[in-house]
Amino acid sequence: MTSVHSITIPLRSNDEAILVLGAYDRNAKLLRQTYDLELYARSGNLRLEGPRASVTRAASRIEHLLGKHRKGRELDARTIEEILLADGDDAAPTATGSAVATSGSSGGSTRDEGRRSEGARRGHDGWRRSSAPEHVDLSSLRVRAVEARTQNQRAYLEAIERNSLTFGMGSAGSGKTFLAAAAGVRALRNGSVRRLIVTRPVVEAGERLGFLPGDLQAKLDPYVRPVYDALFDLVSMDEVHRLEEAGVIEIAPLAYMRGRTLSHALVILDEAQNTTTEQMKMFLTRLGEGSRMVVTGDPTQSDLGLRQRNGLEDAAKKLRGFADVAIVEFGPRDIVRHPLVEKIVQAYEAPVRESEEPGR
C-alpha cells in the first residue's frame, strides 16, 4: 500500500498558476508523468498529492521556480522545464506546504525513475515544437479568401505586410482580430513566416479566474475562444488542430510569452487594451529575427482597474512616428458585424446629455 501525502502551495496570482502548470496544463502533465503524482490549482492554491518522496521533491522544484519568478528572473519554456525536472539534494519539505498522510508505505523508485526519464523526453519534445516547429508543407493549405471592406481595413492589411509592428486600434467589430489572423495564415502559406502565434492577456472582467470551473485549460478557454473562432472561419478546424500539434500555430496567454524570443513568426497580441504598460513592454521586446507583430485592441473597452495605465494607448503614443511601426485607427464606419452594432458604438461614444448624468 502506498502512502498518500499532500502539500498545498499558495499562489500569489493567475500568472503564477500559468507559470507552474503551463499553457494548457503542459507543465502539469509533465509533472504528473515525472513524479507520479496528482496536482491541481484551486482557490488560489496549488495542491500536490502522491507518494511522500515524489510530492516533497516536486514541491521543492515548484517553490524553486516560483522563487526565481518572484525575483523578476526571465524564464523561458526550456528553463522552466529544467527547473521542474531537476534532480538535486534540495528536495526538503516546503514551509508553505500542509501535509496529510495516510497509512501505508512508499516505494517503487525504479519505476519512478523510468517515468521521470519518459516524462522528461516528452516534455523536451513538446517544448521544441513550440520553438522549432516541425516541417509542414503549407503550400496546399486551403484558406478562405478574405477581402477588406473599408479603406481602413485595406490600410491595415497593407501595414501588416510592410511593417514589423502594426497597431490596430478602434471599435469592436471592425475586423481587427480577424484580419490579423487572415494575414497570419496567408503569411504561413506563402512561407514568409514559419509560425503564427496569438496571445491574449488574461483579465478577469467581473470574475476571478480561480472561481471559474475546471482545470487551467478549461479556465483559459473562454479567453482564447475568439481567436479560435477567427481561425476556424479561415481554415478548417482539423487543419488548425494539425498545425497546433506541429507547433506551427500557437495560442497561449500573454504571461507565457515572458522570457521568449519570437523569431520567424507573425505574432498577434489581441485585446491589448487589457495589458498594463509593463506587460506591453515585455511583449514588444519579444520581437525576434524575421518576425512581425500585430497589436489589436479597443481602448474604450479596457477591463483594467481605474488606476492602471492602459498598455495599448501608452505604446501607441510612445511609438507613433517610428520607422517600421504603423498605427491604424478604426471607427464606427469600419464595423462589419450586425448593422445595429455601429449604432450602439456611436450611442456609447456620444457626449453624455445633462439628463443622463448621475444624480439627475
Over range 37-51, report the average pLDDT: 85
pLDDT digits (tens, 9 = 90+) for 224-244: 788 888 888 898 888 888 888
The predicted pLDDT at position 90 comes to: 42
- pLDDT of residue 253 exceeding 70, the answer is yes
Q: Phi, psi (5° rounding) for residue 343?
A: -65, -35
Strand, coil or helix: what is 105?
strand
Instruction: For residue 236, give the 3-state DSSP assignment.
Output: coil
Check pLDDT > 50 for residue 99.
no
| Architecture of the structural domain at 5-102+109-131 | 2-Layer Sandwich (3.30)
266 or 135, which is more confident? Answer: 266
Query: Are 176 and 168 contacting, i.e. CB atoms less than 8 angstroms apart?
Result: yes
115-137: average pLDDT: 40
Alpha carbon distance 172, 335 (integer Å)? 7
Name the one residue in this structure whose C-alpha cell is 495599448. 312
Task: Name the band, by pLDDT with cuts 50, 70 and 90, for residue 343.
Answer: confident
User: Residue 221's pLDDT is what?
Assistant: 67
Query: pLDDT category, 121, cuts 50, 70, 90?
Result: very low
Domains of the chain: which residue ranges? 5-102+109-131, 151-356
**0.75 surpassed by pTM:** no
Q: How confident is the prediction for the chain on average, in pLDDT?
A: 77
CATH architecture of 151-356: 3-Layer(aba) Sandwich (3.40)
Helix (H) or strand (E) holding 29: helix 26-35
pLDDT digits (tens, 9 = 90+) for 130-184: 444 556 667 667 787 788 889 999 999 999 999 999 999 998 888 899 999 999 9
Mean of pLDDT values over 71-83: 83
pLDDT at 351: 67
Locate 351 and state its grid cell: 457626449
- Confidence check: pLDDT of 352 > 70: no
The DSSP secondary-structure symbol of 173 reads: T
Tens of pLDDT, residue by residue over 288-330, are 999 999 999 998 888 887 777 889 999 999 999 999 999 999 9
Mean pLDDT calculated for residue range 1-16: 80
Choice between 4 and 122, residue whose per-residue pLDDT is larger: 4
Q: Tell me the angle at which helices 26-35 and 109-131 cross, rounded to the nearest 10 degrees.
A: 160
